Structure 1
Amino acid sequence: MLRQKTEPGLSATERYGPTHSLKSILSKLVVSSLVDPVSKPLNEGTAAATLRPRHPFRIPALLQPQRPIRPLPDVLISQIAAGEVIERPASALRELLDNAIDSGASALTVRLEQGGLGSVQVEDDGCGIPAEELPLALLRHATSKIADLDELHHAAHLGFRGEALAAMAAVAEIEIISRRAGADGARIHASAGQVSAVQPTAAQQGTRVTLRQLFFNLPARRKFLKSPQTEYAWCADVFKRTAIAHPQIALRLWHDGQLKLQFERDPSPHGLDRLAAVLGEAFSAHALPVSTQIGPLAVRGLICKPTAARARADVQHIIVNNRWVRDRTVAHGVRAAYADVLHGALQPQYALLLDLPSELVDVNVHPAKSEVRFRDSSAVHQAVRHAVEQVLARAGGEASASHPSAPPAAWEQPPSALPTTAAFAFGVARPSPSPIPWDALSRAYAPLATADAPPLQAQDSAAPRPYAQATDLAAAQPDDFPLGFALAQLLGIYILAQNRHGLVIVDMHAAHERIVYERLKAAEQADAPVAVQPLLIPAAFAASDAEMGAAEDHADALRSLGVELDRAGPSSLVVRATPTLLAHADPIRLARGLLADLISQGTSSRLQERRNALLSSLACHGAVRANRQLTLAEMNGLLRDMERTERADQCNHGRPTWRQIGLADLDALFLRGR
């Protein structure tokens, strides 16, 4: 507050005038604080002419006389409730769509004017409302959907509080026209809480609700609404979410007289066609189907391959019992399933529909019903993660030795819960017989040098073998080689291979990184010690103070990863052993990479939580590097290992490990067939 210089010793009367009540003194003090701070000091003659308060002064409520406690008017109560339930036209549209779906409608039509700022209309072919119940529909907390607490706990309807229509009637003009089967149509109108009498009218079976001029009596609220284009975008999102959650209902969206969106009923049992139609071709091109039943929970929908990840989390849809929600439990479960194949800054795309008994989920936890609470959130998290991991593993190759997360112990999974889909096995359909001399080509096969990848200790028959044996390759059938046979190495980075579909290009570092990582995880999950190979000549390197401290503080963690580091001097470390699996890796590069991760992870408890991240770093630094020349046999051995490895489509950071270029694409490059 700006303070004016005054002569000392002035009384309140001399300073503020004869009327020096608390209100007048506060007024003058506040007005003086609103004067432009660069103005010249005021004097007695120019004060009245110079003061230009920027805001009207209002006495704070605490300084006003105490008011008696009294009940609020019903209209004010409804307006307050509307502030929680109805935020914008899209909020009103969501509530109207929920009511229409609860009526048993099979077709819905939405009409918007000016993005919903002008009007929002929803018409359905549901059961309709009897004429005598229309006034009750506009009363607060009047509903036909629940009658007691037990029904609330088992609520199967989208709406159940009976407050949405009353809230809308308090802040907008609303008209309801409805007709029951075998009865006459009726109409009722309400505006700013004033409800008209019911009038007969011609109408089709069902209900049509029209909302006009939202917040017309609350200009402060209406002022915060955005442009018609922005409000329409919000409404379109609500419409699409409803279409995803209810594939059995046909929906149409009109805006300013133009048909914008239309979705027909989806006859498929799981609604996957509707998902593809709503989310578009860009999503569908990378989509993988999810369909599993784990105990009482059914999980279905579509998830995208990790290579289709986005920078924004704007294509993530969670539907719980036909209700679109935001839920951290499910979202975290999905994210955990993608953890090994997705960079931390990217977001997966998915649309998952969860169905479970209504008594296992509480929908009455959010004013807008956009959040739910699961009775056993841990089981739901584990089930979702398990379902998504299974699909990602199948999409990444044949999981002959899979180690996905287990389903919840309390929920046993049927053996046939996750059907295998040939179209998504390793990203391409399984090859069919052809006259190519596969037996002759397979004789060129040989495993990578055993020094590159010796087996882990305590490795059982179910664990991934280090490299394919030549005898196995000779006996293998053509169908066992989806990645085909190596032809050459390009620039020391890529492997060129041929399969029945055309040309396969493999990023050898990314592919080897995934293979090594999965083997390290397999040993970790089996509680098997990592095989260690002492270095014939220990590798010493200069280390920073932070690296010296990390090596000393986390010596046990490093040994558990197969890396032995000792102090060689005041500012140097020496690597004495590395994992046998990474025998040909640069030991100094490997040690520096692990130390950098240990420094960033911090405490030992944090390290335990980030164990897989450290294994990923170990695999990345130990994988075959660019410009290393491989023999044809080594390249073929790497391809075979990819086919046996889970999630082989992506490296640990989400980059693709291989790409297929079809014969038709190659022909098009050279204009063949024209």
Structure 2
Amino acid sequence: MPHATIRRLSNHVVDLIAAGEVVERPAAALKELVENALDAGATSIEVVLRGGGCDSIEVTDNGRGMTPQELPLAIERHCTSKLPDDDLVHIRTLGFRGEALPSIGASARLSVTSRTAEADTAWCLRVEGGVVEPATPAAGAVGTRVVVRDLFFATPARRKFLKSPRVEGSHAEAVMRRMALSSPHCAISFNLEGREVLRLPVQSVQERVAAVLGVVHDSLLAVDEQRGRMHLSGFICGPAHTRATGAGQFLLVNDRPVTDPVLRTAVRVAYRPVIERGRFPVLMLHLHVPYERVDVNVHPAKTELRFADEAEVRAFVIGAVGRALARGAGDGGGVHADLERVITPEPTPPEMASRSSQPSSPALWNDRRPAVARDWRQDRDFGFAPSVRQVARSPMSEKEAGLSEAAALFDRATPSCAMAGEDERGAYEASPSSKQTLGVPIGQIHATYILAIAADGDLIIVDQHAAHERLTHERLFARFEGGVIKAQALLLPEVVDLSRDEADAIMACVEELAQFGLELESFGEGSVMVRTLPAPLSGGDVGALVRDIAEELAQDPDLSARQTESLDRRFEAVVARMACHGSIRAGRKLKREEMEILLRDMAQNPRVNTCPHGRPTWLRLSKDALEKLFGRVK
């Protein structure tokens, strides 16, 4: 190979190389343009995409705009208005590198039309494949309008690697949702292929989160915690609202949308005990950290961060999200479901239509209806009258004194809501004077679901097996974590070969692992000897368990052994299996006292809203939902 002389690359080639880092696809170009608009103080942004952004991207804002003297600098590399004092530490803007517009102009046909509030006219600057034309006067409102056409026409090799317009459009939509969540103070319109995807006015944070995530307000749990100079805020959905992918997770750091692995790991660890494996939570979290404690100048895309203390950030987020999820049923953290979407009244058969106004057994109904209706209205108004439908009498109903007794029992409930302490096993002892925040039981359906009336008159439906399974699961898990787990000695110690890094990582946690019954010894370079296994995991694949734990610890040294998914999931599976077999089964008829104790324990347990498998344990049917079911309101 002949010797090549070192030479300086032309500015055009440099721009094309840099464009590959900054603008890897249409969604990346869109992100940079919207960030520029927000940094310019825009309160309204309109975005139009065609061909998934490959054909054209139009971004119009009402920000400060640019003068004709600033326009040529805006498309010149490393020119920016966002670092007035050259400070790369306290970066308060979304953009700061001065690379976006030059990179787009080098690989596409770019036009920038801008006008300041003081100017009489707008000015337009065009760039085509890196060739800049002089700015000319143009018509335009105050603000800036950027149009990008034929993205990557100057780099055909890059354009070949783009996906279909549908795929590229989905990436662009994800970008717009992230940007919308970061700026509820800005009205945003997003049009894709002639279809309006987003039209969001200026909103509160909660309204914007509900609109972008596509959830109802009642399903959002607020997060607002401070630790030192770190502050975490936002909204998360309970474990009953999960998705098949992580597309519903939105993370911000100092107002910047990010895809940081440290924060994603923290969210995964916090949700792991309450959602099913393979499901992903829905949330928007905003972390504020001191600017000097985070580096955003890691990658040209500015979506990756580097924290000064990753372990501190991870622990803070895990704790804050865990505490938000730990709001028990009595704290309003339950599943406030729109049951009218689930429960659809069956149409009345034609042969029953003529008889629907009176019950089939008048004597039985007349025996019960007057007393029930009279006592119900006199004792307490729960918002509705008894149903006129006939319900067959069962052995359980003989023991139930009806709604009048439920109302009387509810009247006797004390207003205190003191949480009883945990015993040595971590189980909550229900205090006789505790307020029954899930209401008063009034009966069972199919010997599986408990019906109760809440203090506000809402109807509560409890899955007795799922609820008791969660309570049993919590007691068993507390028993495991309350002390050293029993170890099962192996008949023959097993040697597991690992890489040097993995062996070092797992041996650094040898004392912590011993507390869980996993005793290890170093056995030469890159190998460990396993002498005992946790008793609940005895009989499993020793090598697979140790290798999985070692791999996770090597990939993320700041994780504790207990936080590794390999160990945690195995314990969760064993405990969940034990809890399932030791819980009240569906089909078992409960006494009133048993239902009362179950509801009281649920109100006092912080994670009772879902069972260990992630299913909801209770639902709420409000008065509004009932009126919709019966056609009283639309």
| 1:515-571 Cα shifts (integer Å, max 9, x gaps) | 1232344455554999xxxxxxxxxxxxxxxx9959999xxx999999xxxxxxxxx
**8 A contact 2:446–2:587 mirrored in 1:** no
In structure 1, the residue matched to 2:4 is 67
Of 107, 110, 116, which aligns to 1:180?
116
In structure 1, the residue matched to 2:212 is 278
Q: In structure 2, what is the Cα distance between the partners aligned to 1:254 and 1:323?
A: 23
Say if 2:34 is the partner of 1:119.
Answer: no
| 1:392-433 Cα shifts (integer Å, max 9, x gaps) | 111x324xxxxxxxxxxxxxxxxxxxxxxx6546859xxxx9
Say if 2:232 is the partner of 1:289.
Answer: no
**8 A contact 1:127–1:181 mirrored in 2:** yes
Letter in 2 for 1:152: L
TM-score (norm 1): 0.67
**8 A contact 1:306–1:341 mirrored in 2:** yes
In structure 2, the residue matched to 1:414 is none
Of 342, 348, 360, which aligns to 2:281?
348
**8 A contact 1:174–1:189 mirrored in 2:** yes
Letter in 1 for 2:602: M
In structure 2, the residue matched to 1:434 is 380
**8 A contact 2:229–2:290 mirrored in 1:** yes
| 1:173-194 Cα shifts (integer Å, max 9, x gaps) | 1122222332353222221221
Q: In structure 2, what is the Cα distance between the partners aligned to 1:673 and 1:209?
A: 47
| 1:241-282 Cα shifts (integer Å, max 9, x gaps) | 21111111112223456654321112x3xx11111122224x
Say if 2:329 is the partner of 1:397.
Answer: yes
> Structure 1 residue 320: deviation in Å?
1.4
RMSD: 4.0
Say if 2:438 is the partner of 1:482.
Answer: yes
**8 A contact 1:249–1:264 mirrored in 2:** yes
In structure 1, the residue matched to 2:396 is none
In structure 1, the residue matched to 2:272 is 339
Say if 2:623 is the partner of 1:638.
Answer: no
In structure 2, the residue matched to 1:203 is 140
Q: In structure 1, what is the Cα distance between the partners aligned to 2:310 and 2:489?
A: 42
Q: In structure 1, what is the Cα distance between the partners aligned to 2:143 and 2:428?
A: 64
Letter in 2 for 1:154: H
**Alignment identity in percent?**
38
Change in Cα spacing, 1:324 to 1:442, as seen in structure 2 (3 Å) is: closer
Q: How does 1:205-604 map to 2 (within 5 A)?
A: 205-255=142-192, 259-266=196-203, 268=204, 271-281=205-215, 284=217, 286-394=219-327, 396-398=328-330, 424=333, 434=380, 437-438=405-406, 440-441=408-409, 458=424, 464-466=427-429, 468=430, 472=432, 475=433, 480-485=436-441, 487-488=443-444, 490-491=446-447, 493-499=448-454, 501=457, 503-523=459-479, 527=483, 595=538, 602-603=545-546
Q: In structure 2, what is the Cα distance between the partners aligned to 1:528 and 1:593?
A: 12
What SS does the corresponding residue of 1:510 show, helix, strand or coil? helix
Higher relative contact order (CA 8 A, sep 6+): 2
What are the ranges of 5 or more consecutive residues in structure 1 without an aligned counterpart?
Answer: 1-63, 399-421, 446-454, 531-546, 563-590
Q: In structure 2, what is the Cα distance between the partners aligned to 1:620 and 1:509?
A: 8
What SS does the corresponding residue of 1:379 show, helix, strand or coil? helix
- What is the number of equivalent residue pairs in this alignment? 513
What SS does the corresponding residue of 2:168 show, helix, strand or coil? helix
In structure 1, the residue matched to 2:371 is none
What are the ranges of 5 or more consecutive residues in structure 2 without an aligned counterpart?
Answer: 338-378, 382-403, 414-420, 495-511, 518-533, 550-560
In structure 1, the residue matched to 2:365 is none
Q: How does 1:628-667 map to 2 (within 5 A)?
A: 630-662=590-622
> Structure 1 residue 366: deviation in Å?
1.7
Q: In structure 2, what is the Cα distance between the partners aligned to 1:457 and 1:293?
A: 30
**8 A contact 1:593–1:621 mirrored in 2:** no
Change in Cα spacing, 1:626 to 1:638, as seen in structure 2 (3 Å) is: same
| 1:615-667 Cα shifts (integer Å, max 9, x gaps) | 44543443344555543322322221111111111112212222334567678
**8 A contact 1:513–1:651 mirrored in 2:** yes
What SS does the corresponding residue of 2:243 show, helix, strand or coil? coil
**8 A contact 1:485–1:499 mirrored in 2:** no
Change in Cα spacing, 1:528 to 1:596, as seen in structure 2 (3 Å) is: closer
**8 A contact 2:116–2:143 mirrored in 1:** yes
**8 A contact 1:111–1:122 mirrored in 2:** yes
Letter in 2 for 1:373: R
Of 166, 172, 175, which aligns to 2:102?
166
What SS does the corresponding residue of 1:480 show, helix, strand or coil? coil
Q: In structure 1, what is the Cα distance between the partners aligned to 2:513 and 2:78?
A: 62
Of 19, 30, 33, which aligns to 1:96?
33
Q: In structure 1, what is the Cα distance between the partners aligned to 2:114 and 2:627?
A: 62
**8 A contact 2:57–2:148 mirrored in 1:** yes
In structure 2, the residue matched to 1:155 is 91
In structure 1, the residue matched to 2:14 is 77
Q: In structure 1, what is the Cα distance between the partners aligned to 2:182 and 2:423?
A: 49
Of 126, 129, 147, which aligns to 2:66?
129
| 1:224-253 Cα shifts (integer Å, max 9, x gaps) | 223333333322222222111111111222
Letter in 1 for 2:53: G
> Structure 1 residue 85: deviation in Å?
1.0
> Structure 1 residue 597: deviation in Å?
6.2
Change in Cα spacing, 1:302 to 1:444, as seen in structure 2 (3 Å) is: closer
Letter in 2 for 1:278: V
TM-score (norm 2): 0.71
What SS does the corresponding residue of 1:302 show, helix, strand or coil? strand
What SS does the corresponding residue of 1:65 show, helix, strand or coil? coil
Q: In structure 2, what is the Cα distance between the partners aligned to 1:334 and 1:214?
A: 36
Change in Cα spacing, 1:488 to 1:592, as seen in structure 2 (3 Å) is: farther
